[in-house]
Structure 1
Amino acid sequence: MSNPAIANRYAFALFQVAIEQKLLDQLDTELRVVREVIQQNQDFNTLLSSPKLSKDKKKQLLQNAFSNANPFLQNTFNLLVDRGREGLIVQIADHFIELTNNEKGIAEATVTSARPLTEKEIKALSKTFAKKLGKKDLRIENIVDSNLLGGIKLRVGNRIYDGSVKGKLERLERQLLR
């Protein structure tokens, strides 16, 4: 079940509670874990969306899986199950993380490189591109692609900065063909 408008309302409500209770960082971290668990574990996701499983069993499943989660998060899970919207948990987590990042002036970025980047390189990229994007910081995920000859590709939202050797060669080719 996918309904972005409903997921956004739940995420915004949870976001407001997190700000009021000064739990923004904690809930952000916990929702990242929840999102990853649900996305990575297909069996868990199947159980959660099964109409054969009672609401109480679904609540228990979420309680057991995320027993260390904040009570506000646990209550949100229970509310979602009661209303038959447990399929929105990943969307709610995504929107909550987006709201948190906007509040903190952070952007999520993916950097594709031929080799794993060092912490120093990641910090330098974050500092450089955060300024270009008008953000305080970038949260960078490094993906290694052995097909990349050299350089990097940085993606923030729907923007792509291609500094790879292949990208530079393609741009050069287009210029020469003009």
Structure 2
Amino acid sequence: MKKQTVLKGFVVAVIVFLGFSLISCNDERYEPIPVKLSDVNGNYRARLITSQGGKNNEKIIDFATKDSIVTFKDFPLREIVKSVVTDPVKADTALAHIGKVEYKLNFKSKINAEQNVVELTFEPKVLAFQIPVDGVMKNTVVKLAAKQKGFFVGYDWSMRFGLEAEKITIDGVDVTPFQTIKYDIPISLKN
């Protein structure tokens, strides 16, 4: 009986001690680590939402950022190729033959200390590659634009931005009709 009383007293003492230790934590405030321009550099895994017309497609992609350049080792081309090659079987065959296309996206960065983010202003270049259609290589040029700023967020070390394919030209001729292709990256986490 004496052992149970001692054990109960010990358990009560531990519970009281834990209660007081948790109360002392209430005064601590979260102080974010201020972002630096160099924090943007790194490898990212991103959720990409591609939309054209009423169709949306989601996939996970990887990209790297270094020295004011975002590098996509494998830029998503499916919607671009399907805008050019309307036959689904031929489009899938063309995509298989194209393989990976690298795209480099330049940006300028500026710290917004009040919100603890790095603001990214993108300067897209054209994306050029060749699409094989019925044994003939078609020179494809895609005009990309960034309508809004992107952000590197210090709170969760993520990057968020978007691009649009505004126009596609095949062998110097604009693809018509053409619906804008939007590439939105609502979140990408640094590896």
Superposition TM-score tier, normalisation by shorter sequence: under 0.3
Structure showing greater radius of gyration is: 2
More strand by share: 2
More helix by share: 1
State TM-score, norm by structure 2: 0.23
State TM-score, norm by structure 1: 0.24
